[in-house]
Amino acid sequence: MLTKSIVVLAAALIIVTCVAGCTNPLSPSPEPSATAAATSAVSAVNDVKGKDLPDVPRYNGSVRTSYQDSNNSTTIVYQTSDPYSKVVEFYKSTMQQKGYQVSARNSTNPAKEGNYTQFAFTKGSVIQHVTIASEKTGKTTIFVSVVK
């Protein structure tokens, strides 16, 4: 059931991105900033093409598995083998340190829909969305989305 929920969430994020005007995923992507390159150097070899967002830190050691960018939004999916709770705490504390207000919706009902946390990080008029989900495979998936 969790896998189905994650697929539905990912599909919704991709549809929203594509409705806003997807870029061709095979077209060359801009080079990442020095900061983004430094934080993602560990797993850059396994990443799909794309770039990390400057205001949302990439979880150390995660692999970028999906990247969609348009004129209106960017959606990135990462995966890590670190525990779900560790990833949730990382985003909560790091985004607060960056001056974002945090609101979250949690689910911890593995039998029905699995563990996930949906964050909305707000600073002024900017809202960064991060959803973290635990997989039955032991992996943790991180969905990052921002509307431009």
| Alpha helix stretches (DSSP H) within the chain | 2-19, 34-40, 84-97
Average pLDDT of the chain is: 76
CA distance 52 to 75: 10
Nearest to 140 by CA among 132, 131, 148, 128: 132
Output the six-digit token pair for 74. Answer: 């960017």
pLDDT at residue 69, as a whole number: 96
Q: Name the pTM for this structure.
A: 0.70
pLDDT in tens, 120-130: 999 998 899 99
Residue 41 or 79, more confident? 79
Sign, CA torsion 26/31/37/41:
positive
Domains (range + CATH), the chain: 2-24+47-147 (3.40.1000)
Q: Give the confidence band of 113 by pLDDT, cuts at 50, 70, 90.
A: low
Residue 31 has pLDDT above 70, yes or no: no
Phi, psi of 83 (to 5 degrees): -65, 145
Q: Give the confidence band of 75 by pLDDT, cuts at 50, 70, 90.
A: very high
Residue 70 has pLDDT above 60, yes or no: yes
CA distance 75 to 21: 12
pLDDT at residue 78, as a whole number: 98
pLDDT at residue 96, as a whole number: 95
pLDDT at residue 15, as a whole number: 37
pLDDT in tens, 48-66: 999 999 999 999 999 999 9
> Are 19 and 13 in contact, with CB atoms under 8 Å apart?
no
